[in-house]
Copies of this chain bind each other. A is one copy, B any other.
Amino acid sequence: MNKHTVTFYPDNKKVEVESATTILSAAISAHIHLNSACGGDGVCGRCKVIVKSGTVHSEPSGKVTSEERKRGVYLACQALVESDIEVEIPLESRLDMGSLSKEELESRLRNVYTKAEDISEAKPSLGEGLFTHAPLVVKFCLELPKPNFDDKISDLERVYRAIEEKIGERPIQTGLSNIRHLGELLRASDWKITVAVSQRGPVAEILSIQPGDACGRNYGLAFDIGTTTISGQLVDLDKKEILGTKAAYNRQASFGSDVISRIIYSKAQDGLEKLQNAVVDVINEMAEEFSEEHGIDLNDVTVVNVAGNTTMIHLLLRVDPTYIRQEPYVPTANYFPHFKAAEAGIKINPHGLLFCVSGVASYVGGDITAGVVACGVHESKELSLLIDIGTNGEIALGSREWIISCAASAGPAFEGSGMSCGLRATRGAIQEVRIEPKSLEVKYATLGDDKPRGICGSGYIDLVCELLKHGIMDKSGKLNRDIKNRRLREGKADYEFVVAFEEESGIDGDIVVTDSDLDNLKRAKAAVYSGIAILVRHMGTGLDQIKRIFIAGGFGTSLDIESAVSIGLIPDLPREKYIFVGNSSLAGSRQALLSCQASAICDKVAADITYFELSTDPEYMDEYMAALFFPHTDAKRFPSVKYV
């Protein structure tokens, strides 16, 4: 087989590949991550690249115009390398959060609880208590009596005896490599050591034995593994302090934008391995960065706690996810026993443990459990609602008496996927929109104050709200053909509204929203709203009985609540009932890391939450159909919403 060299610009990275490899595969080999919402099927048109020199073979694609073709534009997933080539990757094809500044990142995560105290502050407002501080791994210093002829129990027994005196439990497991040089370690450290011990149920395990007093160095990592974004925190387990927070794209996006396309991709040759590597690489890079930035030895990180939807956890562990999407939607596990982090390829202390927050059922995973626990829904006397809008829209309704949850297939529209000019909440994404009443001139704000490259979820919600308000779109989601304005026109495929013209944009072309985009958004908001409505109706409770509504999700951090109600995404309830909690999954994951009690509560809550299967509920389709209108076919449900 012939080999060819592919050079990527502006990275200036080279990789050698076999003839007829796709440019997308070559990019993955070069550790360059491209947008690829459809998983490489040539359908989404997100992975455009410009071939500067050399020969590639590609069938014509409707996603590439003849003009683009002339400029050397190809879909990376369809173009087969036939010689040494040079490829340029335009900014909009890049899957990269690294380009965001620290401030921008922080602003994006501004509603994430950033300190343990924030949880404390949040909880009393619900009139409830806090979790005991008892991290999944404790580290303490032991000064052992030296052996003599009257006290000559073995070295390990001496350590066990001291631990039992300290925590009241005899360890029953210890990694062999901790034992191998124990004799020397004890004597060299003059019998003063620091042990890291995990306790889960009846199983206490020694994870590490260090010489001297190493008590101040007890770290853990909490993660939220989202379909689109992975967020992580480095936590000082003793001080309950968040030392750092990071977010990065889930590189699995190269294999498809939603859980369904990834489950399908997992059946491809080495698909499951590739999906696992994509997420584990991100985790390891974050851990590595945390380690460097905070001068922390990764051997002092002995525990990782992860929350994520059912599919994400399966893929992280390389567990076959096939049966999640086959009736009756049974995952391999909702509760996973803990594993060695190394078993999943996570590079912390080699004896370090990996815990996964237990999921509920089907697609409702540990991210919802963690969110429910972080928001205190499970211990609230009054009725609460948690709405987590990511690639799926998950909803939990309940109180300390009962909790019911469901997963609505909102689709990735709110994450900018499958839209003609959609973009994730990344640099250049339009996130706020206002339209001038008469002129229909558009004012927008972009993430990073960059030239606009596309529209992200909160931008679409603002946009839909404004289009409605000014009668540019009717309540069924169709653009008004009667208005004469340069922004309204028949586009290539569809009638469209121009949000930003080419001259002001950061891409080659206008940024538009089409009838078909609006239809996508309508379906997505209908899925979420009807999920909420069905749960409320199913439980025989009124919407007005809900005392508090938590809006969660990476999406939710910049959501305009008024717009969201106006388009009918969320119920028309007093605005003060809404609380933005940001990434509640990450907050819950961190809580469980810091408290065995919280971790055990997560397991219990996950087992107690009732899962409601929308897809087999006869009333759901009716609710959904009724919600396919802005804000709703039944206007009485949105009394406060008045369009001009």
A296 interface residue per 8 A CB criterion: no
A616 interface residue per 8 A CB criterion: yes
A191 to chain B, nearest CB (A): 12
Residues on the B chain within 8 Å of A335, using CB: 154, 156-157
Residues on the B chain within 8 Å of A202, using CB: 172, 201-203
- Residues of A319-368 at the interface with B, using a CB-CB cut-off of 8 Å, are 319-320, 322-323, 327-337, 339, 343-344, 361-362
Residues on the B chain within 8 Å of A148, using CB: 328
**Would A330 and B174 count as touching, CB distance under 8 A?**
no
Bound-state Cα–Cα, A154 to B322, Å: 13
**Contact for A180 among B147, B184, B320, B361, CB less than 8 A:** B320
- Residues of A353-411 at the interface with B, using a CB-CB cut-off of 8 Å, are 361-362
A51 to chain B, nearest CB (A): 39
Please name the residue on chain B nearest to A159 by beta carbon.
Answer: B333
Find the residue from A174, A318, A319, A327 having the highest chain B CB count within 10 A.
A319
Bound-state Cα–Cα, A191 to B231, Å: 38
**Known contacts A184-B322, A187-B323, A318-B180, A330 near B152 by CB under 8 Å:** yes
A182 interface residue per 8 A CB criterion: yes
Bound-state Cα–Cα, A322 to B171, Å: 24
**Would A149 and B328 count as touching, CB distance under 8 A?**
yes
Bound-state Cα–Cα, A331 to B156, Å: 9
Residues on the B chain within 8 Å of A323, using CB: 155, 183, 187
In the complex, per-residue mask of A549-592: 1 if CB is within 8 Å of any chain B CB, else 0:
00000000000000000000000000000000000000000000
**Would B181 and A320 count as touching, CB distance under 8 A?**
yes
Bound-state Cα–Cα, A171 to B338, Å: 12
A96 interface residue per 8 A CB criterion: no
**Contact for A333 among B152, B155, B203, CB less than 8 A:** B155
In the complex, per-residue mask of A179-201: 1 if CB is within 8 Å of any chain B CB, else 0:
11111100100000000000011
Bound-state Cα–Cα, A344 to B155, Å: 20
A613 interface residue per 8 A CB criterion: yes
**Would A176 and B343 count as touching, CB distance under 8 A?**
yes
A248 interface residue per 8 A CB criterion: no
**Known contacts A203-B172, A203-B203, A361-B152, A157 near B334 by CB under 8 Å:** yes
Bound-state Cα–Cα, A171 to B331, Å: 18
Q: List 22 A-B contacts (CB under 8 A).
A: A149-B613, A152-B328, A152-B362, A153-B361, A154-B333, A154-B334, A155-B323, A156-B333, A156-B336, A157-B334, A172-B200, A176-B319, A179-B317, A179-B319, A179-B336, A180-B317, A180-B319, A181-B320, A182-B320, A182-B333, A183-B332, A202-B202
Q: A152-B330, A171-B337 are in contact. List 15 more A-B contacts (CB 8 A).
A: A153-B361, A154-B332, A154-B335, A154-B361, A155-B323, A172-B200, A172-B203, A175-B343, A179-B317, A180-B317, A182-B332, A184-B322, A187-B323, A202-B202, A202-B203
| A-B residue pairs, 9 tightest by C-beta | A156-B333, A202-B202, A183-B323, A147-B330, A154-B334, A176-B343, A154-B333, A183-B332, A155-B332
